[in-house]
Amino acid sequence: EVQLEQSGGEVKKPGESLRISCKGFGHNFNDFWISWVRQMPGKGLEWMGRISPTNSYTKYSPSFEGHVTVSFDKSINTAYLQWSSLKASDTAMYYCASGPGALDVWGQGTTVTVSS
Amino acid sequence: EIVLTQSPDFQSVAPKEKVTITCRASQDIGLSLHWYQHKPDRPPKLLITYTSQSISGVPSRFSGSGSGTDFTLTINGLEAEDAAAYYCHQSRNLPLTFGGGTKVEIK
C-alpha cells in the first residue's frame, strides 16, 4: 500500500523561496504520477500539476505554470513543490496525491502561510 | 480546460434523508469522473471512481452515476459523519480539474 508523507507547515515572508516535500512509501509508489493540489482558505481544491516518478516528466495547470516548480528525487522517493518568490496569495494548504486516474492516496497536507 | 460545475453549493439535510449532488462537465469526459469527500483538517478521501465504481471501505450508501457530461453522487440515508465538502474531479484531459465543491450540513 502506497503512503505519502508531507513536510511540516511553513511560515514565510513575501519574496522568500520555499520547497515542500512529499515522500512516498510502498512498493507501487513509482507506478503513478504524483500530483499537487492547492486549497486556499475557505476555497475548493485546485490541481496544480504532476510529475512522473519514473522519468520526472512534468505537466502543469496553466494557472500555476511559471509560478511553481515540481521535481522528484528518485534516490529518496520524494516529490517537491517549490516557489522562488512567494506571494501572500500563496497562503494555502497543499496536498500531494497519487493514483491511476483518480487520486486515491493523499498526503496529510502542508500548510503554507505567507505574511509580512 | 474542462470546467466542472457542481450543484448545489450547499445543502442542509436531515439524517436518513437522501442527498443528490450533480456535476456537469463542459465537454464529454466519458466515465472519467471521480468523487471525493473532504472534512476539515483531513486530506480528501476518494469515494467513487470512474463514475460509479465503489472504493473498498467506503459505505454502500455512497453511489455514483452518469456519463458524458452529466454525473451524480448520491448518499442514500445521510449519517452525521457524512457532514463534509464533496468534490467531483475529471481525469480525462489535462489539466486535471475539480468541481467547485458542495458543502453538506446535517440538519
Q: Which residue of B has its CA nearest to A62?
A: B95
pLDDT of residue B40: 95
Query: What integer best gives the mean pLDDT of chain A?
Result: 95
pLDDT of residue A60: 97
User: What distance in Å separates the CA atoms of residue B37 and residue B103, rounded to the nearest whole number?
Assistant: 10
Distance CA B59, CA B46 (A): 12
pLDDT in the model for residue A72: 94
- Give pLDDT, residue A1: 81
**Does A109 sit within 8 Å of B46, measured CB to CB?**
no
Q: Residue A100's pLDDT is what?
A: 81
pLDDT tens digits, A94-113: 999 998 889 999 999 999 99
Please give, one letter per residue, the 3-state secondary structure of A55-81. CCCEEECCCCECCEEEEEEHHHCEEEE
Taking an 8 Å cut-off on Cβ atoms, the answer to whether B95 and A62 are in contact is yes
- Residue A84: per-residue pLDDT: 97
State whether A101 and B87 contact (CB < 8 Å): no
Determine the Cα–Cα distance for residues B67 and B60; give it in Å rounded to an integer.
Answer: 20
pLDDT band at A26 (very low <50, low <70, confident <90, very high): confident
Comparing alpha-carbon positions, the chain A residue that sits nearest to B48 is A102
Q: Please tell me whether the peptide bond between B8 and the residue prior to it is cis, using omega within 30 degrees of 0.
A: yes
CB–CB of B95 and A106 under 8 A? no
Tens digits of residue pLDDT in A72-85: 999 999 999 999 99
pLDDT recorded at residue A101: 87
**pLDDT per residue as tens digits for the range B24-65:** 999 999 999 999 999 999 999 999 999 999 999 999 999 999
B89 backbone dihedrals φ, ψ, rounded to 5°: -155, 135
pLDDT given at position B92? 97
**B61-97 confidence digits (pLDDT tens):** 999 999 999 999 999 999 999 999 999 999 999 999 9
Q: Which of B44, B85, B98 sits opposite A46 (nearest CB)?
A: B98
> In chain A, positions 69-108, which contact chain B (CB-CB < 8 Å)?
95, 97, 99, 101-104, 106-108
* Distance (Å) from the alpha carbon of A102 to chain B's nearest alpha carbon: 6
Chain A residues lying within 8 Å of B101, measured CB to CB: 44-45
Q: What is the mean pLDDT of chain B?
A: 97
List, in sequence order, every residue forming a beta bridge with B22; answer none if it has no partner.
Answer: B7, B72
Task: Tell me the three cell numbers of residue B83.
Answer: 457532514
